[in-house]
A = this chain, B = another copy of it.
């Protein structure tokens, strides 16, 4: 049996409640007893029992983290470890625990979340993805349970605390970069259409095109999974167009790897034949050949802010929903270059 608050009280010659007050750093406690109690705690190797605290407190000091379903291969994206780092960092500072929740299927995921909230296991929840019409979001909303999203909610945007980049602007600027480089046929390769992030970046792509007076063509937009076969089809479709693109905006660095792979297999060199830009700046993007010009979305910060935002909300339920925008910057490497002068048309 571990040492309890009573044992400490006995040794220190005070009441259990006094020990409790010392733990909580209660103001009205004399420096003398405080010292006495702390000494006893140290000597006896006392450590508070989390469950007992939670029970008495009705607060678990832990927050749930929901990753996308692992059916989704995107789980393997280094994006996640990186957000986790950010979350972890503030969790550590604020003495919160992180409780993980994944699942093979959407059903499993929802079950996991329900379990967490019903059982009072967590004080709040962070969603590491955002998709349209998410049952988990609906559940959390219905329960009036504190949560925040990394990304942009598909709906009820200003009822939900979330931290995001300005993905529309990011999409616009990175596309504009290609345009400034002289490209006029620019395609967009994105993931699933119901991921909000895809939509936002595509919207930016559209805006840049329009601003430059370039057409926004249906056949230049491909949506696919990032895995090999997906990237493959995307590239084949694009290259078989009568006027194949010379610039590519790819929604994710990982996807870019697959795309570049295919491009090479089709005999196209990056950036000589086609320029490619993408998003996220995971560490991999400097290991590729060529290293990627990409939007650094500051993943770590997204995590930090999401955790801070949630904890604020947990501590004070009346805290209003916030939208936190993490700045991005474009990292110029060598996957994009000036469009080569086209051979003069006949």
Q: Which residues of A contact B (CB under 8 A)?
A: 2, 47-52, 54-55, 60, 62, 65, 67, 70, 73, 75-78, 80-82, 84-85, 88-89, 92, 95, 97-104, 108, 111-112, 115-116, 118-121, 227-228, 231, 254, 257-258, 260-261, 264, 282-284, 286-289
Contacts and interface: CB of A to CB of B under 8 A. Distances in A.
A96 to B, nearest CB: 11
B287 A99 contact: no
Contacts of A97: 99-100, 116, 121
Contact of A81 (B65, B81, B228, B287): B81
A97 B115 CA distance: 10
A227 B283 contact: yes
Contacts of A50: 51, 54, 60, 119-121
A77 B81 CA distance: 8
A76 B227 CA distance: 18
B88 A70 contact: yes
A288 B51 contact: no
12 contacts: A49-B55, A51-B120, A76-B284, A77-B78, A77-B81, A85-B102, A92-B111, A97-B121, A99-B100, A100-B100, A228-B287, A257-B288
A194 to B, nearest CB: 21
Nearest to A98: B100
A94 to B, nearest CB: 12
Contacts of A103: 88, 92
B78 A76 contact: yes
Nearest to A64: B97
Contacts of A264: 289
Contacts of A254: 284, 287
B228 A257 contact: no
Contacts of A52: 51, 55
B120 A102 contact: no
A47 B289 contact: no
A213 to B, nearest CB: 36
Contacts of A121: 50-51, 62, 97
Given A50-B119, A75-B81, A98-B101, 16 more contacts: A47-B118, A49-B120, A51-B54, A55-B55, A62-B121, A76-B82, A76-B283, A77-B78, A81-B81, A88-B100, A88-B102, A100-B100, A231-B287, A254-B284, A257-B284, A264-B289
Contacts of A257: 284, 287-288
B112 A92 contact: yes
